[in-house]
Structure 1
Amino acid sequence: MADHHYDVVVIGAGPSGEGAAMNATKHGKRVAIVEDKPTVGGNCTHWGTIPSKALRHSVKQIVTFNTNQMFRDIGEPRWFSFPRVLQNAQKVIGKQVKLRTQFYARNRVDLVNGRASFLDANRLEIRGNKSHEIFHFKQAIIATGSRPYLPPDVDFRHHRIYNSDSILNLSHTPRTLIIYGAGVIGSEYASIFSGLGVKVDLINPGSRLLTFLDDEISDALSYHLRNNGVLVRHNEEYESVDGDDHGVVLSLKSGKKIRADAFLWCNGRSGNTERLGLENIGLTPNSRGQLAVDDHYRTEVEHIYAAGDVIGWPSLASAAYDQGRSASSDIVKDDYFRRVTDVPTGIYTLPEISSVGKTERELTEAKVPYEVGQAFFKDLARAQITGDPVGMLKLLFHRETRQLLGIHCFGDQAAEIVHIGQAIMNQEGEANSLNYFINTTFNYPTMAEAYRVAALNGLNRIF
């Protein structure tokens, strides 16, 4: 058993671990990163963000092919199986793993495969397949991520019952699918499967979809999911999930029974904190396996930090990377530490959704005198050219100062479009103003031009 000494040890090689390790090593720290999976990238690369977005892109292309009149001259609509569509995602995953493995080699970060657990506040035990080592550290960053929450009364070993990780092993295309949980992941998979021609029942324990979104955007998502053949059932909770050789029966507390070829659970995630030996350093996760941190990403043990999904909200790859980088910024005392807030949401449903800043409901409750500027994609030349007329950009701004308060967008490329407004919203003083969009010439035709259209629309509402 070998002993190794490091300045910083990072546990978990997902986005937050990578952000932490890269920043620490570039400031001259001796860094090791421990990963218990065979390859780096974390949930983001292997089971979550990357595969689901690659899947969604392929499905979007299929939908375009099957609905665009230009392609009807080629032949009849085509049917694509889920496993075939998944092949493209596997290629992307491979590229991501290769790229991220090179980062660690190039920056001289020791990449160690094994499971880490704390022996005490300055030592970690690392158990690999054939190795057993002790790492001494000055600081540690817990970046172990999360996994789907799996209720014990649902048999996920059944070949027709899946969660948001195991769905990527689906080897056939079901004709009918029940998705339980209508959060971001559930809504995205509802879009993906309905785009493949699967009849989807989306079961929502809440009263409306994605309540953190602007009400108008949430309503639009509901409409377009239904328009694409998804049956959304609100205010429903499961009583039992029973699989047999031919399908799955979902019994709801309301007395309803729903049958489908397969069942997908997308309701909640748990932090990966078990078997970390946290009891040996006096840390106790909450009921969802998450660790509490202060404003500098420090746990209750001052020199041990945590970042990414393991600390909870917002549980996004984008935020995780920045949180990990900021945690190590606190360690190396550079100029780039920041508390990661105002994170834009990017939801890759069909249509895509993205927003940053305040919603109309929040501004109304706070009695902020705001006004609305809108641009509908069906009126934009670029959207007419690409054949993607669904969607809108909505700007919320202060009536008196014209300061931007919120940006809400749905439709093709929404997650890209939102960053233009985000950049202006983060400016100081008068630079953050609706006037920027009115006084700036945009390329034409573009989707970005929606900002000019929305700003002029909003200006017309001020008297």
Structure 2
Amino acid sequence: MDHYDIVVIGSGPAGRRAAVQAAKLGRSVLVVENRLRLGGVSVHTGTIPSKTLRETVLNLSGWRERGFYGLAYRVKKEIEGKDLGSRLRKTLDYEIEVLEHQFARNGVRTFGGMARFLDTNRISVTDPDGEEHVFSFDYGVIAVGTTPYRPANIPFNDRSVVDSDSLVFEPRVPKSLTVVGAGVIGIEYATIFSALDVPVTIIEPKDTILDFIDREIIEEFTHELRQRGVTLRLGAKVDQVELDSVGWPIAILADGRRIRSDMLLYAAGRSGATANLGLENAGITPQDRGRLKVDPATFQTNVRNIYAAGDVIGFPSLASTSMEQGRIAALHACGAAMHPAPEFFPYGIYAVPEISTVGLTEQQVRTQGIPYESGVARFRETSRGHIMGLQSGMMKMMFSLEDRKLLGVHIVGEGATELIHIGQAVLNLGGTLDYFVENAFNYPTLAEAYKIAALDAWNRMPRQTTPLAAALP
């Protein structure tokens, strides 16, 4: 029986970062992955495939050039599933190659198979041939990610009724699409296919979408979706889904409405991939939908030597935060020094258009009773926006009236997930409105929106005036 200092179950963002961090600290590390290749959900069915699909669609459809050449402009007239799949496979191969090289360079051993805890210091791994292998360890990190939630009343067939996994496994361009669930995944895929001029209907039981995003940004976002012909059915619950005589899915709503489309994507939630881990043998009990509860500072479970990180522990379920969680778990397990986590981290939603946000929303500022002022910049107000032919996109910034400190930055539009990092740096360093007003930005860039929004806020902020007589020598 081989023994390791640290065994990591899962090779997604949290698992890979935990493994590499532990290896750099001189620990022996084993990564167990139940897929045929490394990468976890992020590489195979989640982050990388969805973002690759998005980029492929924007390129082939000519989406970014339509501001100049009109709505009918296309780079490729007939876009098919094989066009989407070709670039997807190339990207995945490259990502896996980089990961394998990273593990090899750091001396991390990998093993393919399904892991199951035998107790708090041993796991059994069943390889693809059915042979069982037992490994012992001092510390374990659970980074298995999540799987799409598949309720029994949805007739999944992975062709016309799909989840986010089967959608990217063999992508095709449907004649029309219904998306059940207006969370991040549902919104991303709905807008990606809308960019291909596929008629899209989004069904969401709540009256709002993406509640953790500033409401003004969501209003701008939904306005653009409606302009593009996306149908939003908010406050509508799907009772069941059935297939018609030609195999097209029909979503039957609680109020009796029936929505028929060529494809239905069910994206209403995910579950932690913990069902077959034998957690009971280690004394760990999953929470709702297989999620694991951890100490938010160390990512330890209720078992001292077993940690969990990434999507399996729940919100925020971002690849970026998952990496940091895995790294912190490894540092704590190795007894290494840990710096405090930054107070604010960015969210990125790779919809069309992108949404990104960092810091407090206007709703949170009001709830906390902070006196504030906000400023807005439209991308079309920047020279770079004109050059790019942008018709939409905006940035919103909020500042405290008491000390002028930045409170939050919220962006919807082209490049939002890249632009947000300027605001992230200023926010975490305690910067103020003066940074944006007094510093020069490259011209022409979309980043100029920071200065425009800051000046917009400054124009509304109260001024302290000095009587003329007092100002004279």
TM-score class normalised by the smaller sequence: over 0.9
- Cα contact 2:158–2:166 (8 A) shared by 1: no
Alignment partner of 1:443: what SS?
coil
- Structure 2 partner of 1:113: 112
> For 2:286 and 2:273, how far apart are their aligned partners in 1?
10
- Cα contact 1:327–1:337 (8 A) shared by 2: no
- Structure 2 partner of 1:84: 83
- Structure 2 partner of 1:150: 150
Deviation at 1:83, TM superposition (A): 3.2
Deviation at 1:179, TM superposition (A): 0.5
> For 2:179 and 2:71, how far apart are their aligned partners in 1?
32
Which AA in structure 2 matches 1:325?
Answer: R
Change (3 A) 1:158 1:381: closer
- Cα contact 1:117–1:275 (8 A) shared by 2: yes
Alignment partner of 2:344: what SS?
coil
- Cα contact 2:242–2:251 (8 A) shared by 1: yes
> For 2:396 and 2:164, how far apart are their aligned partners in 1?
31
> For 1:54 and 1:366, how far apart are their aligned partners in 2?
39
Does 2:226 align with 1:242? no
Change (3 A) 1:305 1:77: closer
> For 1:414 and 1:69, how far apart are their aligned partners in 2?
21
Deviation at 1:65, TM superposition (A): 6.8
> For 1:118 and 1:74, how far apart are their aligned partners in 2?
55
TM alignment of 1:11-90, pairs within 5 A: 11-61=9-59, 62-64=61-63, 67-70=66-69, 78-90=77-89
Residue 329 (structure 2) aligned to one of 315, 323, 327: 327
Does 2:437 align with 1:438? yes
Does 2:104 align with 1:101? no
Alignment partner of 1:351: what SS?
coil
Which AA in structure 1 matches 2:194?
Answer: S
Deviation at 1:68, TM superposition (A): 4.9
Which AA in structure 2 matches 1:29?
Answer: R
Does 2:175 align with 1:178? no
Alpha-carbon displacement from aligned partner over 1:247-292 (angstroms, at most 9, x marks no partner): 0111111111111111110110100111111111111101210010
Change (3 A) 1:342 1:172: same
> For 1:361 and 1:65, how far apart are their aligned partners in 2?
32
Could you say what the CA RMSD is over the residues aligned between the two structures, in angstroms?
A: 1.9
> For 1:125 and 1:138, how far apart are their aligned partners in 2?
15
Alignment partner of 2:255: what SS?
coil
- Structure 1 partner of 2:165: 165
- Structure 1 partner of 2:260: 259
- Structure 1 partner of 2:428: 426
Alignment partner of 1:103: what SS?
helix
TM alignment of 1:290-301, pairs within 5 A: 290-294=291-295, 295-301=297-303
> For 2:107 and 2:325, how far apart are their aligned partners in 1?
22
Alignment partner of 1:165: what SS?
helix
Alignment partner of 2:288: what SS?
coil
- Structure 2 partner of 1:402: 404
TM alignment of 1:355-434, pairs within 5 A: 355-428=357-430, 432-434=431-433
- Structure 1 partner of 2:222: 222
Alignment partner of 1:355: what SS?
strand
- Cα contact 1:66–1:78 (8 A) shared by 2: no
- Structure 2 partner of 1:201: 201
Deviation at 1:63, TM superposition (A): 3.7
- Cα contact 1:10–1:34 (8 A) shared by 2: yes
Which AA in structure 2 matches 1:322?
Answer: E
> For 1:63 and 1:158, how far apart are their aligned partners in 2?
29
Deviation at 1:46, TM superposition (A): 1.1
Change (3 A) 1:461 1:437: same
Deviation at 1:224, TM superposition (A): 1.2
Change (3 A) 1:424 1:403: same
Alignment partner of 2:140: what SS?
strand
> For 1:66 and 1:408, how far apart are their aligned partners in 2?
24
Higher mean C-alpha displacement, 235-244 vs 153-162: 153-162
- Cα contact 2:349–2:355 (8 A) shared by 1: yes
How does the TM-score come out when normalised to structure 1? 0.95
Which AA in structure 1 matches 2:88?
Answer: A
Higher mean C-alpha displacement, 336-345 vs 167-176: 336-345
Q: Which runs of 5+ in 2 are unaligned?
A: 463-473
How does the TM-score come out when normalised to structure 2? 0.93
> For 1:69 and 1:123, how far apart are their aligned partners in 2?
61
Q: What is the percent sequence identity of the aligned residues?
A: 41
> For 1:133 and 1:76, how far apart are their aligned partners in 2?
52
Q: How many residues align?
A: 458
